[in-house]
């Protein structure tokens, strides 16, 4: 038997809960962090050793930033765009979106200079183009190389093991902690009904919990590694 | 055939642009319906063919130059609607980056080369080929005549657009404001070279590439794309991309054709152009003070640069950008579902 109070229809329209810019930005930041899957890179049909790829990328970026002759710039542009054109459409979106963002930001930064000194406009535009191409090149590399291969390549370059270890762990933790932030804020949202005037109090809470969790995680990792006989030498995942 | 900036009055440009809007909407809708999603990236290869064909300038009679467009070819491969989109995108790229064809005149250029050319070319092809299964010889003949008629129809439209300008827009002294040549000069000046040379080049280019595609990737013809036949395994895309690479490497041949295409002179050249034995003697006001955009690479080159190398690099960048653009478009467009 359903009690009578359950049968009456209630319409609760909680007042719109606006604001809390800080909370929303932390949440979106966490979302981005959680989505940062560094293992997404895939190898194409043509397998170039990751070390060679890394060196090529570095050489390309250094040449690109030093290039003053327009012909050289054009050649690099043709190389990078030609390579990008061979990638599948889905990869292209994730390569071009950050590149476009970076170029747009650079353009915005240059805008006052370009308006005040029209003579230097061409140079400024070249810098914007260089930024666009560099970001595309790095992203292409990212999409086409698996992360563990990259750390192995770094190891071959005699970069200290500790450095690579920290890099590896950092990337892992960014994903883990990003997920944690999103979870915490979602839980908070679900529990809050209606207008909440004390929202900003939870900002500190969320960040504090995240910090505590990160120290806990690092301690646990360290202990686990010691238990498995870690000898301070790290060869990459 | 690229109408430069300021040769058409802004009013004409607006009219032509407005005429293209329903065409583009129709083309996008039909392409969404007809093309399977996985084929849309290949449209980029079609647009690349068109882009490269337009870089091969051939010397024409009377000291001008011209080029093939390849619109009929794309119409044969992907259908006239997809061809309209592909050529429009190629033209946009040329206008924005390489300064070939004006930004304001973009609508007019699209009308000629992206609307009239592929639709007329494909219509003629269908007419000659007929409904049923046609033999190889008849198919190629139909393709050649379609391409020939298509590019000439486009050239005719272009010359009419040029020729109407001096009749409609004059200053107080009776000098033309924009393009100074009326219909009696513009039509023969455009049509004779296109009928004699550029049309033949377009027909040869179309048949050659069409034959290659039919041999290596038979699934890439419009008839096959429209029919729901299951695909047989016989396809090899490599020759198509190899051909694009060869065309890129060979495109500096287009630089051999000296001279400017009819109707594409710069504001500094036009006063000296000889028509019917006399020079024009003045620079039309609209051309002199007209609006123009500083594009990154005017005429596919940069100052103080080796022309040949710059031309090849322009071709690579153009083709790469087209392929990337159509790959991105394929994500945005819904495309036809595969028949279950």
Q: What is the pLDDT of residue B115?
A: 92
Contact B317 A85 (CB under 8 A): no
Residues of chain B contacting residue A136, judged by C-beta atoms under 8 Å apart: none
Chain A, 43-72: which have a CB under 8 Å from a chain B CB?
Answer: 70-71
Mean pLDDT is highest, among B95-99, B308-312, B314-318, for: B314-318
**What residue ranges in B185-277 does DSSP mark as E strands?**
274-275
For the stretch B179-231, pLDDT in tens is: 777 778 788 888 888 888 888 888 998 998 888 888 887 777 777 777 766 66
Coil/strand/helix, residue B274: strand
For the stretch B25-43, pLDDT in tens is: 999 888 888 888 778 888 8
Average predicted confidence (pLDDT) for chain B? 80
* B194: containing domain: 10-218+233-323
- For residues B2 and B94, the answer to whether their CB atoms sit within 8 Å is yes
For the stretch A78-118, pLDDT in tens is: 999 988 888 888 888 888 888 999 999 999 999 888 888 88
CA distance B179 to B265: 10
Residue position matching structure tokens 């002199």: B288
CATH of the domain at B304: 1.10.1760.20
Nearest CA distance, A143 vs chain B (angstrom) = 16
Q: Would the pLDDT of A125 be above 90?
A: no
Reported ipTM: the value is 0.77
Q: Residue B27: inside a domain, yes or no?
A: yes
Q: Would the pLDDT of B276 be above 90?
A: no
Give the mean model confidence (pLDDT) for residues B71-77. Answer: 89
Contact B324 A77 (CB under 8 A): no
Q: Read off the tokens for A144.
A: 């086409």
Chain A, 100-139: which have a CB under 8 Å from a chain B CB?
Answer: 125
CA distance A86 to A118: 37
* Interchain CB contact of A159 with B (< 8 Å): no
For residue A138, give the nearest of A110, A90, A85, A96 by alpha carbon.
A96
Nearest CA distance, A68 vs chain B (angstrom) = 13
Contact A93 B328 (CB under 8 A): yes
Q: Residue B224: inside a domain, yes or no?
A: no
For the stretch A20-71, pLDDT in tens is: 676 777 777 777 776 665 555 555 556 778 788 888 899 999 998 888 888 8
For residue A24, the surrounding DSSP H or E stretch is: helix A21-35
Q: How many domains does chain B have?
A: 1
pTM (2 d.p.): 0.77
* Interchain CB contact of B309 with A (< 8 Å): yes
Nearest CA distance, B312 vs chain A (angstrom) = 9
């Amino acid at each position: 038997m359903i009690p009578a109070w359950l049968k009456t229809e209630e319409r609760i329209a909680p007042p719109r809960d606006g604001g809390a810019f800080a909370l929303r930005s932390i949440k979106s930041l966490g979302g981005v962090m959680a989505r940062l899957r560094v293992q997404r890179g895939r190898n194409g049909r043509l397998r170039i050793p990751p070390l060679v790829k890394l060196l090529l990328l570095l050489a390309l970026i250094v040449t690109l930033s030093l290039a003053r002759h327009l012909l050289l710039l054009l050649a690099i542009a043709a190389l990078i765009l030609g390579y990008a054109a061979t990638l599948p459409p889905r990869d292209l979106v994730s390569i071009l979106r950050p590149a476009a963002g970076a170029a747009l930001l650079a353009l915005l930064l240059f805008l006052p200079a370009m308006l005040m000194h029209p003579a230097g406009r061409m140079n400024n535009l070249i810098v914007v183009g260089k930024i666009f191409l560099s970001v595309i090149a790095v992203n292409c590399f990212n999409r086409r190389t698996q992360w563990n291969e990259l750390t192995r390549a770094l190891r071959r370059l005699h970069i200290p093991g500790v450095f690579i270890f920290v890099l590896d762990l950092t990337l892992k933790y960014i994903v883990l902690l990003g997920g944690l932030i999103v979870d915490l804020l979602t839980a908070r949202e679900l529990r809050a009904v209606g207008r909440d005037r004390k929202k900003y109090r939870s900002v500190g809470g969320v960040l504090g919990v995240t910090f505590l969790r990160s120290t806990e995680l690092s301690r646990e990792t360290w202990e686990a590694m010691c238990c498995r006989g870690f000898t301070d030498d790290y060869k990459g995942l | 055939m690229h109408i430069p900036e300021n040769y058409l009055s802004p009013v004409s440009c607006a009219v032509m642009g407005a005429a293209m809007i329903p065409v583009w909407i129709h083309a996008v809708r039909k392409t969404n319906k007809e093309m399977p999603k996985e084929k849309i990236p290949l449209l980029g290869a079609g647009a690349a063919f068109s882009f490269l064909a337009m870089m091969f300038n051939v010397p024409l009679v009377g000291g001008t130059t011209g080029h093939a467009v390849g619109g009929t070819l794309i119409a044969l491969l992907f259908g006239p609607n997809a061809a309209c989109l592909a050529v429009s995108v190629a033209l946009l790229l040329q206008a924005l980056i390489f300064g070939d064809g004006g930004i304001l005149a973009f609508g007019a250029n699209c009308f000629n080369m992206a609307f009239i050319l592929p639709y007329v070319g494909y219509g003629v092809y269908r007419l000659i080929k007929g409904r049923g299964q046609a033999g190889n010889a008849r198919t190629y003949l139909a393709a050649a005549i379609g391409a020939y008629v298509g590019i000439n129809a486009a050239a005719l439209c272009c010359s009419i657009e040029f020729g109407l300008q001096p009749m409609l827009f004059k200053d107080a002294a009776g000098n033309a404001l924009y393009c100074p040549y009326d219909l009696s000069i513009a039509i023969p000046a455009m049509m004779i070279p296109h009928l004699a040379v550029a049309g033949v080049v377009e027909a040869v280019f179309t048949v050659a590439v069409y034959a290659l595609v039919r041999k290596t990737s038979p699934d890439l013809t419009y008839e096959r794309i429209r029919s729901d036949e299951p695909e047989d395994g016989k396809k090899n895309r490599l020759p198509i991309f190899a051909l694009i690479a060869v065309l890129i490497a060979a495109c500096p041949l287009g630089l051999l054709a000296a001279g400017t295409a009819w109707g594409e002179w710069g504001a500094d050249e036009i006063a000296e152009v000889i028509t019917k034995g006399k020079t024009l003697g003045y620079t039309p006001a609209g051309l002199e003070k007209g609006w123009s955009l500083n594009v990154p690479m005017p005429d596919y080159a940069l100052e103080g640069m080796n022309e040949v190398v710059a031309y090849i690099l322009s071709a690579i960048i153009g083709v790469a950008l087209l392929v990337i653009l159509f790959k991105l478009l394929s994500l945005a467009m819904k495309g036809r579902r595969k028949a279950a």
